[in-house]
Amino acid sequence: MKVAIIGAGLSGIKAASLLADSGHEVTVFEKSRGLGGRLANRREAWGKLDIGAQYFTARDPGFQKQVESWLQASVVKIWEFSPYCVKQGKLTPSPDETVRYIGSPLMNQLVYSLGTNVAVNCQCKISKIEKSRKGWRLFSADGELFYGFDWLIVSSPAEQSRTLLDRCSDVMAVVPVTVHRPCWAAGLATRGKIPEEVQGIFGDETVRWASRLSSRPGFIKSPDVDDVWMLHFSPEWSEQQGRETAMDIGQTGLQWLQALMDTELEKSATYRHYWRYANMKPVTFDKPYLMDEHQRLAVIGAWCAGGRVEGAWLSAQECIQDLPG
């Protein structure tokens, strides 16, 4: 069986790996330069930043087995810390029993570890698809044609999947028009003293989550900075500002940190990224994937299964298990 997969995030690469292990011919198409999707990173002189998911958890027994395998292979590490939260503008300890995992050295290592047996066409944006008697035909934005696929699996955010598929199938009919909300992300290199135990913060209406990346196992930072942070702003705040905001996102994040820590911090460098499809609205589906068996089409992704990293893995796992031969 010849299968095309659009999207090289965790769900797309997991699906591709399962199919390749079963002897099928699989080709993955990815519009970006590398693998990972929302497990993306940015390499700056002052540190390598995970700009998407900051950690993940494991609840499903099957996924827990996968995580154990990753741990043994040093693909992931446990990030041990007690989180803090913001209450009435004050930093407050908020300990829990959650086991949090991170990719090693970066979050996208999860994806690369699964994709060793998969052919990926990077920087190849599929802009149009067609179904013919000879299978699926895919057209890239650069005018290339790829054809002869028995099955098509789309692993993209819901909104992008809808745009691509609406003329070919009604598989997205059960999906709300809007599934995701945006998130501004800001990476900060700072100088200044902050208590060592403060590593992760559940925030407020401005910043939803703050990671002290420089406290994570194996993180390497520039010697001329004290800390490296990644701040994810709330969906409400991010929507209000919009992608084209003139606001200095990095400075806003620094001021938020300073007020919370009640100390002066010096910002030596910043990086910002706008995630258009980040936070999920409360939607649920009967299965962690969508499928049109008649058209030989499937749709997978974290958004089909709650939005977490584990959901991306489960979406692919269960879809391929149920995929008709």
DSSP for 157-187, please give it: -HHHHHHHHTTT-STTTTS-S--EEEEEEEE
pLDDT band at residue 320 using 50, 70 and 90 as cut-offs:
very high
Order of strands across the sheet with 207-212?
Answer: 90-93, 84-87, 200-202, 207-212, 227-233, 180-191, 266-280
Q: Could you report the per-residue pLDDT of 76-105, keeping only the tens digit for each?
A: 999 999 999 999 999 999 999 999 999 999
Statement: 69-106+180-280 belongs to CATH 3.90.660.10:
yes
| Phi, psi values for residue 215, rounded to 5° | -95, -5
Whole-number mean pLDDT of the chain? 96
Range list of β-strands (E), the chain:
2-6, 25-29, 41-44, 47-50, 76-78, 84-87, 90-93, 101-103, 119-121, 126-132, 135-140, 145-149, 151-154, 180-191, 200-202, 207-212, 227-233, 266-280, 290-292, 297-299
Q: What's 313's DSSP letter?
A: H
Burial class (CB in 10 A: 0-12, 13-18, 19+), 87: exposed
Mean predicted confidence (pLDDT) in 108-119: 94
Domain with CATH 3.50.50.60 in the chain: 2-41+109-175+287-322
> How many angstroms from the chain centroid is the CA of residue 244?
22
Q: What's 20's DSSP letter?
A: H
pLDDT band at residue 29 using 50, 70 and 90 as cut-offs:
very high
Instruction: Name the 3-class secondary structure at 30.
Output: coil
Burial class (CB in 10 A: 0-12, 13-18, 19+), 240: exposed
pLDDT band at residue 283 using 50, 70 and 90 as cut-offs:
confident
Domain with CATH 3.90.660.10 in the chain: 69-106+180-280
Q: Which residue has the tokens 């940190």?
A: 257
Q: How far apart are CA 304 and CA 283, in angstroms?
A: 9
The predicted pLDDT at position 308 comes to 96
| Phi, psi values for residue 184, rounded to 5° | -80, 135
pLDDT at 325 over 80: no
CATH superfamily of 2-41+109-175+287-322: FAD/NAD(P)-binding domain (3.50.50.60)
Calculate ∠ Cα 107-214-261, nearest 5°. Answer: 125
Q: Comparing C-alpha atoms, which of 37, 185, 193, 24 is closest to residue 107?
A: 37
The predicted pLDDT at position 284 comes to 86
Q: Comparing C-alpha atoms, which of 98, 92, 20, 58 is closest to residue 261?
A: 92
CA atoms within a 13 Å half-sphere pointing along the CA-CB vector of 223: 0
- Strand 2-6 to strand 297-299: parallel, antiparallel, or no bridges (unpaired)? unpaired
Q: How far apart are CA 212 and CA 78, in angstroms?
A: 15
User: What's the token pair of residue 244?
Assistant: 């084209």
Mean predicted confidence (pLDDT) in 45-51: 96
Q: How far apart are CA 124 and CA 32, in angstroms?
A: 7
